[in-house]
Chain A
Amino acid sequence: MKKQRTLSRSPKRIALTILGTGFFVILCLIIAFPIVAGLLASFRPGTELIRRGLALDFDISTMTLANYTYLFGGNVDSQKYFMWYKNSLIITLVSVVLTLLICYFVAYGLTMYDFKLRNLLFTLVIATMMVPFEILMLPLYKEIIKLHLIDTYFGVIVIGLCSASTIFFFRQYLGGLPKDLLSAARIDGANEYYISVKIILPLAKPAFASMGILCAMGAWNAILWPLLVLKGAEKFTLPIGLNTLLTPYGNNYDVLIAGSMFGILPIFIIFLLFQKYIIDGMTAGAVKG
């Protein structure tokens, strides 16, 4: 942190600080607006949404918890909603754990050893980042049908297990660890797999935290691929389920708005707890180019 020298208390400085901070206050008010308005709307009947749009109405006297008591009420809609919620939790958890482990070991192999195919393989990792997923979507869809993975959680998860950006990040991180650790452990008689699991993996915990959160956000909010793979309503994830509530008649808007707000919650909590790691993970690729 740079220390501000002489001018720190001058009127000019104070005016500038008010301007600078004020700018972000206004920007943040604009950015937060849709979510705040959505949150307020979730305490009013869904028919209001259809009639008035997303009005910013702070009038507490017209607010009611009805949408939430209905959502948690154990009725048919409530059961459906929490089934989707549970599905999303399962898919998120399993895909995060598997993705992190697989990508860690792949990155470990690419970083810790000098072998013939290393550079070629790393180039291929980068190449997979160069093609938008949407182009592969249809052939992958056909392939998943052929493999009988359609309408299964595994079909949703499997295509993303070797995430190029996750491998890339782990490689950046592992590249910063001293390689002497490996030779020391080898002299002690440890085998290659023991070293990767028991010696290096604990050192990579911050990288696991960063990537874990980013993967969780991606999996929790994924729409396009689950929309293709999951066919039965009992397998839907939360975004896909919420999407089915968007009928033109708006008869489901009570559940939709309350369910949407409650659906943001887990990711917001994780974000607030691990904010520092998220920013590290997300920006790893941007600095070194």
Chain B
Amino acid sequence: MKGKNFLYSQKVAPYVFVLPFILSFAIFWIYPLITAFTMSFQDIGAIKTEWVGLANYTKLLKDKVFMIAVANSTKYMFFTLVLLIPFPMLFAVLMDSNIVKAKGLWKAILYMPALTSVVISGTLFRLMFTEYKTGQMNIISQALGFGTYKWLKNGWSGMLALLVVACWRWTGVNMLYFLSGLKSIDSALYEAADIDGASAFQKFRYVTLPLLKPTTIYVLTISVYAGLAMFLESYMLWAGNSSPNNIGLTIVGYLYKRGIEKNDMGYACAVGVVLLIVALIINFAQLILNGTFKKED
């Protein structure tokens, strides 16, 4: 009876509630995170595991394929930021205005790609970027007088394909994020701007943009991570983890290749640690640049 009262007390109950999180955090987060670090200093063979110090990291620095993967992931992240923040923001502003009818329908259609599994969308886009002349991209390029092109066999066009998939999947989602940010802006501010005779551009520049900042930071943060950690889009676009001359290889793709396909877990974990450090640096940099750590005024 005493045990029961103990569990039922207001002091103990919160710990019972949060217990699953503590367990899950310890077992499926902190433990693997620490293991990722320790494994990155090891050579993990089938029979025995050896400590090799920084050998995995020094090897990484000289690894040309890894450099290609880093370059691809960074390029992809950069272009997704350029494409998937300003445009969805403008689309959201337009959607929020009163010159658009049937908004619900457009929002639903624009969200559809996010519901589709990467396996399916990757397959559809691979068919559209086919080198045959009936693929959509070749129809367009022929119409413009360029003839057919091997889209998925050349570096720049491979990246273009990845970016097209990214824009297709995320434009609608990011637009909805910005739309919900816009909804939280007090319309009295726009009325005040009207009274002051502000133009549409001035209203956007001095009211909308600053007040959308929390949403922009959120979208920026998830986009940095999603961009750096992109893997499945490339995996599906090239039907497997190998693209000609590694044009579609990403950091996580390389991690998967070394860790799972070649069973070189120690080296793969070093790749993962580098990815983590890069992701954290970029995020802290943008948080500082955006003044998140400054005192609120």
Q: B136 on the interface (CB 8 Å rule)? A: yes
Segment 113-149 of B: residues with Cβ below 8 Å from A: 113-121, 123-125, 127-128, 130, 132, 134-136, 138
Interface of B is mostly: helix
Q: Are B113 and A55 closer than 8 Å at their CB atoms?
A: no
Chain B nearest Cβ from A28, distance in angstroms: 4
A16–B94 alpha-carbon span in the complex (Å) = 11
Which chain A residues lie closer than 8 Å to B214 at the CB level?
A: 286-289
Q: Are A134 and B215 closer than 8 Å at their CB atoms?
A: no
Q: Are A138 and B268 closer than 8 Å at their CB atoms?
A: yes
Which chain A residues lie closer than 8 Å to B104 at the CB level?
A: 275
Chain B nearest Cβ from A64, distance in angstroms: 19
Q: B172 on the interface (CB 8 Å rule)? A: yes
A162–B25 alpha-carbon span in the complex (Å) = 8
A34–B120 alpha-carbon span in the complex (Å) = 10
Which chain B residues lie closer than 8 Å to A263 at the CB level?
A: 117, 120
Segment 234-265 of B: residues with Cβ below 8 Å from A: 236, 239-240, 252, 255-256, 259-260, 265
A134–B172 alpha-carbon span in the complex (Å) = 24
Segment 30-61 of A: residues with Cβ below 8 Å from B: 31-35, 37-38, 41, 49, 51-56
Chain B nearest Cβ from A30, distance in angstroms: 8
Classify chain B's interface size.
Answer: 35 or more
Q: Are A158 and B99 closer than 8 Å at their CB atoms?
A: no
Q: Are B255 and A138 closer than 8 Å at their CB atoms?
A: yes
For A194, give the chain B residue with the smallest CB separation: B8
Shortest Cβ-Cβ A-B pairs, 5 listed: A109-B17, A289-B214, A283-B180, A20-B99, A139-B32
Binding site for B on A (CB under 8 A): 2, 4, 13, 16-17, 19-21, 23-25, 27-28, 31-35, 37-38, 41, 49, 51-56, 102, 105-106, 108-110, 112-113, 115, 117-118, 121, 124-125, 128, 130-143, 158-159, 161-162, 167, 191-193, 196, 217, 220-221, 223-224, 228, 238-239, 242-243, 246, 248, 256, 260, 263-264, 267-268, 271-272, 275, 278-279, 282-283, 285-289
Known interface pairs A134-B275, A282-B176; 10 further A-B residue pairs with C-beta atoms within 8 A, sorted by A's residue number: A21-B99, A34-B113, A52-B134, A110-B18, A132-B229, A138-B268, A162-B25, A263-B120, A286-B214, A289-B218
